[in-house]
Amino acid sequence: TKVTDVVQKSDSWSIFGQGRYQVTEALKLTAGVRYTDDSRDFHGQRTKSPASLLDVTKSVGDEQVSWDVSALYEVNDSFNLFARVADGYRGPSIQGRNLPVLTTADSETVMSYEAGLKSRLWNGRARLNATAYLYDVKDMQFTAIGGIDNSNRLINADNVRGYGFELDV
């Protein structure tokens, strides 16, 4: 008989501030900053018999400052242009479903850019919105399944780039 007991505790706290500045009647700037502190503690035990006790403990943690800046320009009552630059963060992770295999993934950070337009056409009966975006993620967290024991493992990819265009009519 196999008995497994796994406890994973995650603590995360942050503080965030945001402000807006009206540059002109048509142009608004918004900026924000966030401090985040994450920690995760893992403890797993497994016994098949008294002779094969397994006891695994792992802790990970990180702290990051992230931010964003955006601009909104109101061309007229029916047409707006916008742009945003943002720096984001996701804390480290622990994967311990298949003891004794225990894996971790480092924190990931993302830098993103987007710009576009929002409009109301024909006296508000139609909308046309368009956005172009680009983002770069460093140390992106993925789950890989396989290997000799077909287990579930966390890994980090060095760099991931995404980009695209969205059109909403």
Between CA 108 and CA 91 the distance in angstroms is 7
CA distance 73 to 165: 20
Which residue, among 132, 79, 72, 138, has the nearest Cα to 111 in the 3D structure? 138
Please give the angle made by the CA atoms of 90, 96 and 100, to the nearest 5 degrees.
Answer: 145
The token pair that represents 155 in the structure block: 């890994």
Give the mean model confidence (pLDDT) for residues 33-62. Answer: 86
Whole-prediction pTM = 0.80
Q: What pLDDT, on a 0 to 100 scale, did the predictor assign at position 145?
A: 85
Exposure letters 121-152 (e unless 16+ CB within 10 A, then b):
eeeeeeeeeebeeebebebbbeeeeeeeeebb
Give percent above pLDDT 90 in the chain.
Answer: 73
What does the pLDDT read at residue 5? 81
